[in-house]
């Protein structure tokens, strides 16, 4: 979404070090790859309850910390 891109640009302009904030846009396939990728140490998801359940199931199976903000 455009607001996320503006936020990321503001973070860079404010001097946030590389890697502190990573914005990755994409659909369900991209999200599933990110949540299950072995290089991801923690997942924070904001979105629908249905998708949150899928994220929680994947993170639970992988014993990966997750924060969900659903609604």
Say if residues 30 and 36 touch (Cβ distance below 8 Å). Answer: no
Total-model pTM: 0.75
pLDDT of residue 25: 85
pLDDT of residue 24: 85
Q: Any idea which of 5-9, 19-23, 28-32 has the lowest mean pLDDT?
A: 19-23
In Å, what is the CA distance from 69 to each residue of 16, 45, 50? 24, 6, 12
Answer yes or no: is pLDDT of 68 > 80. yes
């Amino acid at each position: 979404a455009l607001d996320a891109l503006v936020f990321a640009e503001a973070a860079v302009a404010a001097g946030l070090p590389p890697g502190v904030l990573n914005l990755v846009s994409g659909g369900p396939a991209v999200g599933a790859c990110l949540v299950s990728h072995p290089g991801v140490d923690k997942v924070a998801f904001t979105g629908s309850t249905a998708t949150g359940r899928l994220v929680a199931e994947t993170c639970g199976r992988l014993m990966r910390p997750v924060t969900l903000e659903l609604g």
